[in-house]
A and B are shown apart, each in its own frame.
Chain A
Amino acid sequence: MAAEVTEQPTAEFRPEGAEILDEQRAAAMAGEPPFAETTRTVGDRLITSLKDSVIAAVIGLVLFGPLVGLETVPGSESRLAVNQRWGVVAIIVAVVFAGRLALNLLVWHTDYPITASFGRIFSRTERMHQADWIIVWVVAAILAVLNYYATELAELMVIVATIAFVVVVGRKVFAAYIPDLPYSQIFGGLFLLFAIALPLIAYGLLPDQLRYVMDQAVVMLAYIMLGWGLNIVVGYAGLLDLGYVAFYAVGAYSFALISHYFGLSFWVCLPLAGILSATWGLILGFPVLRLRGDYLAIVTIAFGEIVRLILLNWADFTGGPAGIGHIPQPSFFGLPFDRSEHGVAAFFGVPFSPILRIIWLYYIILVLALITGTISSRLRRLPIGRAWEALREDEIACRSLGINTRNTKLTAFACGAMFAGFAGSFFATRQGFISPESFNSGESFLILAVVVLGGLGSQLGIVISVIFINAVSELRQFHEYRVLIVGLALVLIMVWRPRGLISTRFPSVQLRDRKKVPAAVPAEGHG
């Protein structure tokens, strides 16, 4: 402890290379367009923007035409036949055209030559900020289009990406006319409505793929929930936890074992699993209280492995590598999902279908994820959340202000672990079978990657990065390369946006106006 008091402020050790590059880039373009705006009329700009968009659309056609428009399928007499899909190409070209036009008119306000803009997009300049966003969605859309080779989920994702695209660009337009509307609430509300209506939307658009879409949605929501839970530990409190999957495992096994030995139902076990996981969070928290940074990360990896190895080797109790099966399904307010006359289908008088259970699971995880998101964002605005963030910024200053840093760290660990426990018991009930294999450390790294990619402390960023990573995982065509793609994305993010996709932080309390804290300011956490 003696050394800590005299050491330099940790803020000085922030990596600066990327920021210097950014600043140089920003400086390099300081004198560039829109200098021509004074002489150019609106009509001129529209015409040049249209021209530019047409060029972009043509390039899009050339690129996507052969790639997407022509598909080889097994034809007659074991020959390959070519399946033509010009409708999809037309959608893509239209998206490129409209997007380019919107960018030209609303964001760039000028007619950049088409090749010059990409180098400038990743800049921290306020004007460019929206462009970053749009690029994220365009990348997601392209991925989804590639994804089309494998599944029709792609169409849905293109639609989602387009909606988001329109919302991001459209918001700017609306904000110019009606600046006072609570846009973030409206945006969140729309998002929520979309999530609630998703089964209907999916049924309407892709009736054949309904089961697949709902499965994907459930997986994504589970990861979003885990990401939000880990965000409390890593994003708010700045404690690098690489063994988060251990709490997920504790939650899953708590439910499985309690139901196996005592026959309790999902709804009884869910809170128990949360409590048990939180307890394990405390148990892990105690020995690592004094560790910071790298040392903490190493010990948390070890903890994750210990939990997995215990589950693997304590065969009498946990079933060992064979796992535990026949985990009960959650009932619909007491009604089981089966063909019997007491089942849900019979009760509502609809024909039985296994999809009913999947949709019910979807709503359960949606509610769980929303609870996680709401509680963790409220916690951030409460004294405990501010103490977590203060702990990330400067632990010694916290102690000098009378904050019990031990308890504060333990609550962060316990809260994060509790949400992982809920998610774990959901995982167990969804799978119906769990084994230690599902809880290896790769899973921890994936969840951490979600949080880092999305932006430490940002809930929306985590949603986006889960969608991205899931889209990449669904690239059946490039299955062997999907980890490579995620790794590449992480590297690019670290180069361009070292603090993640969304790195602005809103203050938890304000005296007057709402101001964002720029990305470079919050400390990265050292403990």
Chain B
Amino acid sequence: MSRWLTDPILTVEHLTMRFGGLVAINDLSFAVGRGDITALIGPNGAGKTTVFNCMTGFYKPSEGRIALGHAPDAFATLAAATATGRAEAKGSLFLLERMPEFEIARLGKVARTFQNIRLFGGMTVLENLMVAQHNKLMLASAYTVGGLLGLSAYRKGHDDAVERARYWLEQVHLVERADDHASDLPYGAQRRLEIARAMCTEPLLLCLDEPAAGLNPRESAELNQLLRFIRDKHGISVLLIEHDMGVVMEISDHIVVLDYGEKISDGSAEFVRNDPRVIAAYLGVEDEAEVAAVESA
């Protein structure tokens, strides 16, 4: 059942991120299974968002390799690809630490959301989703020339994009608000819109940074449904950072636990829940008990 070992979509190896003297992530290795919902959890300041920022190109890692394979057999050429010094091999294996963030999104097909929601607040909900399809629309508009001339290829591309946006708005129950501006939406709806926007980029790996933060229990339940839908119906791998254990334990196929920039546990929900190190990190223990827990693990 441990698909992250047999068929990963993303592997992180020996990832280290230092900010000056501060070591935010120390020699972290884990894998994300293709078609899994993987949760990255840990106490505050454990380095989860830093891992995200390294994966999506917003930080350049100090050390380590982050490889993304679009096809199951892509990882076979990993060593060769690393040696070439290029970021991409055969269009299906990507070394993300070598790529700028917009290429990771465009070529690598990794979409992400942000811990503090980053919508285009002054634009409408629909426009937010259209911006997400920018690269596709630029091609359709022949880099603006065709669009200026009003060619039919652009009109078709435009209509397709609106349809895709409408589809995702239906999935997140925002189709009624399509023409309202994004900053007008309530908080929970903004979270959903950010996920819809990420999905409009047609990713293979969706990275969500605390998608359930600030949601009420009903909204959290809806989020669970939405993430399952994205995984099951679209076959998209999901990696999420989350503090809401109700969400994490219920939907995750695989959980990676970080503490102080290091991995302390890695496995199924059942395994992680009973791991004494995780309990120690989250709940805190008496000094002797912590030592005992670490020794027995």
Contact = CB atoms under 8 A, between A and B. Distances in A.
A522 B118 CA distance: 14
B112 A400 contact: yes
B121 A523 contact: yes
Interface stretch (B79-87, B123-131, B232-240): B123-131
A76 interface: no
Nearest to B147: A382
A405 B58 CA distance: 13
Interface in B130-178: 130-135, 137-138, 140-141, 144, 147-148, 158, 162, 165-166, 169, 175, 178
Interface in A291-321: none
Contacts of B111: 400-401
Nearest to A415: B144
Nearest to B183: A521
Given A397-B114, A505-B122, A513-B179, A383 B19 contact: no
Given A399-B102, A405-B102, A509 B126 contact: yes
Given A5-B58, A9-B116, A386 B123 contact: yes
A515 interface: yes
Interface in A511-527: 511-515, 517, 521-523
Interface in B179-201: 179-181, 183-184, 197-198, 201
B86 to A, nearest CB: 19
A134 interface: no
A403 B141 contact: no
Contact of A386 (B103, B114, B134): B134
Contact of A390 (B49, B105, B120): B120
A390 B179 contact: no
A517 B122 contact: yes
Contacts of A383: 130, 133-134, 137-138, 140-141, 144, 147
Contacts of A399: 58, 101-102, 105
Contact of A507 (B127, B134, B135): B127
Contacts of A515: 124, 179-180
Interface string A191-210: 00000000000000000000
Contact of B120 (A389, A405, A512, A514): A389
B238 to A, nearest CB: 16
B38 to A, nearest CB: 19
A178 interface: no
B117 interface: yes
A176 interface: no
B148 A512 contact: no
B70 interface: no
Interface string A3-37: 00110110100000000000000000000000000
Q: Max chain A CB contacts within 10 Å: which of B166, B175, B181?
A: B181
Nearest to A374: B148
Nearest to A523: B122
B19 to A, nearest CB: 7
Contacts of B148: 375, 378-379, 382
Task: Tell me what chain B mostly uses at the interface: helix, strand, loop, or mixed.
Answer: helix
Interface residues of B, number: 53
A487 B49 CA distance: 47
Contacts of A379: 144, 148
B53 interface: yes
B119 interface: yes
A375 B149 CA distance: 10
A11 to B, nearest CB: 5
A383 B123 CA distance: 13
Contacts of A389: 120, 122-123, 127
B56 interface: yes
B59 interface: yes
Interface string A487-514: 0000000000000000001011111111
Contacts of B144: 379, 382-384, 411
B131 A403 contact: yes
A521 B122 contact: yes
B178 to A, nearest CB: 4
A2 interface: yes
A402 interface: yes
B106 interface: yes
B186 to A, nearest CB: 15
Contacts of A394: 118-121
Interface in B212-246: none
B131 A387 contact: yes
A387 B136 CA distance: 12
Contact of B135 (A6, A403, A517): A403
Given A378-B148, A383-B137, A507-B179, A522 B122 contact: yes
Contacts of A1: 58-59
Nearest to B146: A382
A400 B114 contact: yes
A111 interface: no
Nearest to B157: A383
Contact of A402 (B117, B135, B175): B135
A83 interface: no
A8 B114 CA distance: 11
A512 B178 contact: yes
A384 B138 CA distance: 7
B124 A400 contact: no
Contacts of A405: 102
Contacts of B116: 8-9
B58 A507 contact: no
Given A375-B148, A393-B122, A400-B111, A508 B178 contact: no
B173 to A, nearest CB: 14
Interface in A345-397: 375, 378-379, 382-384, 386-387, 389-390, 392-394, 396-397
B77 to A, nearest CB: 24
B20 to A, nearest CB: 10
A411 B127 CA distance: 20
A511 B122 contact: no
A510 B132 CA distance: 16
A398 interface: yes
A404 B49 CA distance: 23
B119 A507 contact: no
A411 B106 CA distance: 19
Contacts of A404: 102, 106
B234 to A, nearest CB: 18
Interface in A251-286: none
A523 B182 CA distance: 12
Contact of B118 (A397, A511, A517): A397
Contact of A403 (B102, B158, B169): B102
Q: Max chain A CB contacts within 10 Å: which of B122, B137, B140, B175?
A: B122
Contacts of A512: 178-179
Contact of B123 (A6, A375, A396, A507): A507
A404 B105 CA distance: 10
Given A400-B111, A403-B134, 15 more contacts: A8-B116, A9-B118, A11-B183, A382-B148, A383-B133, A383-B138, A386-B131, A394-B120, A397-B120, A400-B101, A401-B198, A402-B102, A511-B169, A522-B122, A523-B122
18 contacts: A2-B19, A6-B49, A9-B118, A382-B141, A383-B137, A383-B140, A383-B141, A396-B114, A397-B120, A400-B101, A401-B131, A401-B132, A402-B134, A402-B201, A509-B158, A510-B124, A511-B169, A517-B123
In the A-B complex, the 4 residue pairs with the smallest Cβ-Cβ separation, listed nearest first, are A522-B122, A402-B105, A402-B106, A383-B137
